[in-house]
Amino acid sequence: MNDSSSRMTPPLRLDRVTRIYKQAGRELMVFRDVSLTLVPGEIVALVGQSGAGKSSLLHIAGLLEAPSSGEVFIEGEAASRLPEKRRTELRRQALGFVYQFHHLLPEFTAEENVGMPRRISGDSRNVALAEAKRLLGLVGLSERTDHRPSQLSGGEQQRVAIARALANQPRVLLADEPTGNLDPKTADGVFEMLIKLVRSEGLSALIATHNHELTRKMDRVLMLDQGLLVERSRV
């Protein structure tokens, strides 16, 4: 795919995705016929009550779960039922993930945690750490690169996690309540940084959040309600 067609192709598209869980011989419909398209550079909020299926939808979009029906397209490629090796490649190359809890490796420094995805992708240590330093600078942690997670505040740890999610220069960032474990003041600062970084790096993002104040800073708001995905106006 050449550069111009890559810029035109939606980095993420869901086509009539349905998720059904089977419990004790019964079927539980989480959501049905969910379709959405992220255009390049767009930041979209995903909202809904607890248990509405936001995390399941993000897992399917991130190729961590398979839909019961429907399809997930990553940069135009039908991806949900590809062999595991190819899905792993797509997750590594095109997708970045940020969770409510940072999941940093405690025995490694901030710089080493951020550089880990590049190392796994085959880059040399020097290349991986150079990109890690760049990203940590962008999230305001240039002076904390050699600190381990236990030496960082909660907000700083989540900034490291965000930098790590961007290490492989993904096209799409998927974030599940990325500031949910932080106090309101810290959460606001981390979220402002996240939005600024996503825009400066030219990514698309789908961000699940309970914080309706944060949705005002995004381009669109989608709501999961009673198994359906609907567009909601920003309040």
Q: Rounded to the nearest 5°, which phi and psi values hold at 14?
A: -110, 130
pLDDT of residue 2: 46
Give the pLDDT of residue 4.
46
- Which stretches of 121-202 are DSSP H helices? 125-138, 154-165, 184-200
Instruction: Look at residue 155 and tell me whether its pLDDT is greater than 90.
Output: no
Quick one: average pLDDT of 62-76? 93
Q: How many helices (H) and strands (E) does the chain have?
A: 8, 10
Using pLDDT thresholds of 50, 70 and 90, give the confidence band for residue 15: very high
* pLDDT band for position 113 (cuts 50, 70, 90): very high
The pTM of the full predicted model, rounded to 2 decimals, is: 0.88
Q: How many CB atoms lie within 10 A of CB 177?
A: 18
Query: What's the confidence (pLDDT) of residue 7?
Result: 59
Give me the CATH number covering residue 119. Answer: 3.40.50.300
Number of domains in the chain: 1
pLDDT reported for residue 5? 46
Give the pLDDT of residue 234. 58
Phi-psi region for residue 177, left (φ > 0), alpha (ψ -120 to 50) or beta? Answer: left
Q: Which amino acid is at 227?
A: G
Strands 220-225 and 43-47 turn out to be: parallel
- Of 122-136, 150-164, 183-197, which range is least confident? 183-197
In the structure encoding, which two tokens stand for residue 34, read together?
């969910």
Q: Which two tokens stand for residue 202?
A: 């030219």
Question: Containing domain of residue 187, as a range?
Answer: 3-232
